[in-house]
Structure 1
Amino acid sequence: MADKTLVCKDCGKDFIFTEGEQKFFEEKGFESEPKRCIDCRRARRQQNNK
């Protein structure tokens, strides 16, 4: 596995999906890559917890 550059669906910025994150996703059984960068994921989580 190698690091991948993905595009955030919320802000449109490129972000790196690291090899370590890919392994974590695989171990957790997640079938798809993240759609949002870490900043947008945090913002979305905070918004959903209100």
Structure 2
Amino acid sequence: MPDKTIVCKDCGEEFVFTEGEQEFYKEKGFENDPVRCAKCRKARKQERNRQ
């Protein structure tokens, strides 16, 4: 599995979904690639935890 370059749906920045991350997602049973970069995922998680 080669690394994938994905555009974040929140900020529009490109980020790399590495081969190791892809293997981790597969092991966890996740079927979809991430749609947000790590920074936006972290911000979104913090926002959810404030509620």
Question: Same fold per TM (> 0.5)?
Answer: yes
Per-residue displacement from partner, 1:1-50 (whole Å, max 9, x unpaired)? Answer: 11100000000000000000000000000000000000000000000000
Structure 1 gap segments, 5+ residues each: none
Q: What is residue 20 of structure 1 aligned with on the other side?
A: 20
SS at match of 1:39: helix
Please, which runs of 5 or more residues in structure 2 have no aligned partner? none
Q: What SS class does the counterpart of residue 36 from structure 1 fall into?
A: coil
Q: How is 1:34-45 mapped onto 2 (pairs within 5 angstroms)?
A: 34-45=34-45
**What SS class does the counterpart of residue 49 from structure 1 fall into?**
helix
| Paired residues, number | 50
- Give me the CA root mean square deviation: 0.3
Structure 1 segments of 4+ aligned residues over 3 angstroms from their partners: none
User: Normalization by structure 2: what TM-score?
Assistant: 0.96
Distance 2:6 2:35 in 1: 8
In structure 2, C-alpha distance between the alignment counterparts of 1:2 and 1:39, rounded to whole Å = 22
